[in-house]
Chains A and B, each alone.
Chain A
Amino acid sequence: MSFRQNHLLGIEPLAPDEITAILDLAEDYVALNRSDNKNTDVLRGLTQINMFFENSTRTQSSFEIAGQRLGAHVMNMAMQASSIKKGETLIDTALTLNAMHPDLLVVRHPHSGAVDLLSQKVNCAVLNAGDGRHEHPTQALLDALTIRRAKGRLHRLNIAICGDIAHSRVARSNLLLLHKMENRVKLIGPPTLVPSAFAELGCEVYEDMQEGLKGADVVMMLRLQKERMDGGFIPSEREYYHRYGLDQAKLSLAAEDAIVMHPGPMNRGVEIDGTIADDINRSVIQEQVEMGVAVRMAAMELLARNLQERRAAAA
């Protein structure tokens, strides 16, 4: 079993054994992160640059902590405030950074495919921290680890993903990963947010949340972006909550031991009832955040290994 990628650009290029390799290694880091001495020197001497062209607190700090615990030099670049504003193209920014010889580049960008484009122009390992509506692979991996730990397996599960699928990179990466691991994936939401094209990707599409939640082992809620709430895609926040907000009544249709997930940040009372989010018997939302650091440590270690092998071979 080996991890063969040069970059982590998405779930799409990964084989099931590569996904398992990341998750297995991440388990070790979960243990490490829970111990007193959280530091290793796996990435000692390496430089990690976090380039976020889009605001992020959670993902960026998760990557930053992961890199620091592995012993890398971590640098954050606030791309919103930088040369992009001065009209520099993404490629030029990439070339400029590349000249500083980073080893790991963590990139988030508002346009689908932008991270892929950037990865073609640099000679270090690139991690996609979210590109437009395309993919957010580390989120799917941390979700997978959370599910595997809660359910004891990552196959033959009945998984419902609810909400704004159309604009969600989290949903895309998750459904790709869950399909690769042979699960049943159900997408739930109003047709304006769950286009029928997703049925062609092998998902079951439900407009009726009650129907879709039946028998679900995992209920994954997605965040509804504020700017999509009024009139454009759904009539109103309250109508959305009425039909697609996760409350006790709807959750009771899922399997008895169903877990509830949310990539955060949550809109309590819009897509999820606050008491469900806080229910420690149901919600694994805090655990997801914890798994995020471990999965990112594992992914970066595996990429760094491959990078060093490539460099040794070239030398």
Chain B
Amino acid sequence: MTTTLLTNARLIDPEAEIADLGSLLMADGKILATGAEAEQAAADHVIDCRGLCLAPGIVDIGVKVCEPGERHKESFGTAGASAAAGGVTTIVTRPDTLPSIDNPETLEFVSRRAREDSPVKVLHMAALTKGRDGREMTEIGFLLDAGAVAFTDCDHVVTNTKVLSRALTYARARGALVIGHIQEPGLSAGACATTGKFAALRGLPAASPMAERMGIDRDISLLEMTGAKYHFDQVTTARALPPLERAKKNGLDVTAGVSIHHLTLNEYDVADYRTFFKVKPPLRSEDDRKAVVEAVASGLIDIISSMHTPQDEESKRLPFEEAASGAVALETLLPAAMRLVHAGDLTLPVLFRALSLNPAKRLGLDCGRLAVGAPADLVLFDPDAPFVLDRFKMKSKSKNTPFDSARMQGKVRATWVNGVQVHGAEF
């Protein structure tokens, strides 16, 4: 058994909510000891972390890898490399591929592809309804057996509440987690911006942020009815927070997420119709952004995701209304999130509670923690290192990031998955 000791690291422990200097001992892909106990140990390899931060690797729910169907945009190889470079040790893929992942055979295909090509752990979500078209539920049981960790139609809202209530009831019986996109589709039809001064000035079709509130209200009603285990993929507006808080207080099994873009950008960043800033739901007002940042700090919003969505240049070099939505973010997730830390909005342990601990817990994984016995999925990063992002240097096949040329602070120095280093210079 080879043991590796990481010393002189600032250990970011989201469970204990501390970030103190210390050591971590790992072997056989697991964390053997931390703190004083680790320091005493004689290890085969000793790595001096020189005061950098060592945190549990990020668990990113909602990553789009474009296999099957659009491998020219992203493959498991490039998504995995991108994740490793971003400190993401587990990616949880979305089923909004071509065709969608809505049957065990397709799920087996992507599982095999992921095993072959990805340097980081990959888990898969499956569609909740066949073809994600909201009519018939998928084979939830078989898909669970094939390894699906959650069920979602992604940005398609199941508009037929009877279909959704049955799918939720069935999912509850099987203990499956369902992830929903909260949006009233009628109200937000055709919209690519949020109503307000900016959309009015730019002449963009816009939807009221109330569409999100209506979406969450409807889904909470259905959860009271069915008791399913549910996660709201992206809560991005202040108005959706009170219902979320009530639902949690009332004991519903709900959690909420938000994308890194809605935490760090607002509608004005679109500026002169910059399509790399077109995401779904659209970027919100600064007031909404602040409210969701606060909700992450308080723990009301549980999880931060990259919502990594690769798009090629052709789908983005179009008039704003016609351009595809989404942004790649696996590599920029941590540096962008560090903006919130540097701004004093979040502490490092709270940030990693939302990036690693909570998503792992929600999916029933044993990673996401710096605990003895947990897998040695780790990210070592320099929280202060400044850089200017060059999108063409990213590992992702698609380069559609809103942070191109942005000044950022926070660089990943090394990433380990099950104790194996998958990114960074050799020590």
Contact = CB atoms under 8 A, between A and B. Distances in A.
Nearest to B322: A111
A117 interface: yes
A116 interface: yes
Nearest to A133: B203
Contacts of B317: 89, 91, 117
B319 A200 contact: no
Interface in B164-222: 195-197, 199-205
A134 B202 contact: yes
A114 B323 CA distance: 11
B388 interface: no
Contacts, number: 62
Contacts of B202: 112-113, 134
B425 to A, nearest CB: 39
B145 interface: no
A135 interface: yes
B312 interface: no
A293 to B, nearest CB: 26
B268 interface: no
A91 B318 CA distance: 7
Contact of A112 (B195, B273, B314): B273
A200 B273 CA distance: 20
- Which of A12, A111, A116, A195 is most buried by chain B, counting CB atoms within 10 A of its CB? A111
B196 A90 contact: no
A296 interface: no
A201 interface: yes
Contacts of B44: none
A201 B200 CA distance: 8
A89 B273 CA distance: 17
B314 A89 contact: yes
Contacts of A135: 203
Contacts of A201: 197, 200-201
Contacts of B352: none
B319 A117 contact: yes
Contacts of A131: 203
A204 B163 CA distance: 46
Interface string B301-324: 000000000000010011111100
- Which of A117, A131, A172 is most buried by chain B, counting CB atoms within 10 A of its CB? A117
Contact of B272 (A116, A172, A195): A116
B273 A195 contact: no
Contacts of A113: 202, 204, 272-273, 319-321
B200 A198 contact: yes
Contact of B200 (A89, A90, A114, A200): A200
Chain B interface residue bracket vs A:
10 to 19
Contact of B196 (A114, A116, A200): A200
Contacts of A195: 195, 200
Interface in A124-156: 131-135
Interface in A159-175: 169, 172
Interface string B349-373: 0000000000000000000000000
A69 interface: no
B30 to A, nearest CB: 51
A111 B319 contact: yes
B147 to A, nearest CB: 39
B199 A132 contact: no
A161 B262 CA distance: 36
A198 B321 CA distance: 21
A282 to B, nearest CB: 30
Contacts of B197: 197, 200-201
Contact of B203 (A91, A117, A172): A172
Contacts of B196: 197, 200
Nearest to A169: B203
Nearest to B200: A197
Nearest to A173: B203
Contact of A89 (B195, B203, B318): B318
Interface string A106-123: 000101111011000000
Contacts of A12: 201
Contacts of B273: 112-113, 116-117
Contacts of B199: 197
A98 to B, nearest CB: 15
Given A117-B273, A169-B203, A197-B200, A111 B321 contact: yes
A283 to B, nearest CB: 28
A193 to B, nearest CB: 12
Contacts of A132: 203, 319, 321
Interface string B260-300: 00000000000011000000000000000000000000000
B272 A112 contact: no
B320 to A, nearest CB: 5
B244 to A, nearest CB: 26
Contacts of B319: 90, 109, 111-114, 117, 132
B201 A112 contact: no
Contacts of A198: 200
B331 to A, nearest CB: 26
B108 to A, nearest CB: 35
B99 to A, nearest CB: 23
Contacts of A112: 202-204, 273, 319-321
B264 to A, nearest CB: 23
A14 to B, nearest CB: 15
A136 to B, nearest CB: 10
A228 to B, nearest CB: 13
A90 B201 contact: no
- Which of B197, B203, B318, B322 is most buried by chain A, counting CB atoms within 10 A of its CB? B203
Contacts of A109: 319
A70 to B, nearest CB: 29
A169 B202 CA distance: 9
Contacts of B321: 111-113, 132
Nearest to A176: B201
A32 to B, nearest CB: 34
Given A112-B204, A113-B319, A116-B273, 5 more contacts: A91-B318, A109-B319, A111-B321, A197-B195, A201-B200
30 contacts: A89-B318, A90-B318, A90-B319, A91-B317, A91-B318, A109-B319, A111-B322, A112-B203, A112-B204, A112-B319, A112-B320, A113-B204, A116-B272, A117-B317, A117-B319, A131-B203, A133-B203, A133-B205, A134-B203, A172-B200, A172-B201, A172-B203, A197-B195, A197-B196, A197-B199, A197-B200, A198-B200, A200-B197, A200-B200, A201-B197
Closest 6 A-B residue pairs measured CB to CB?
Answer: A113-B273, A133-B203, A111-B319, A134-B203, A114-B319, A200-B197
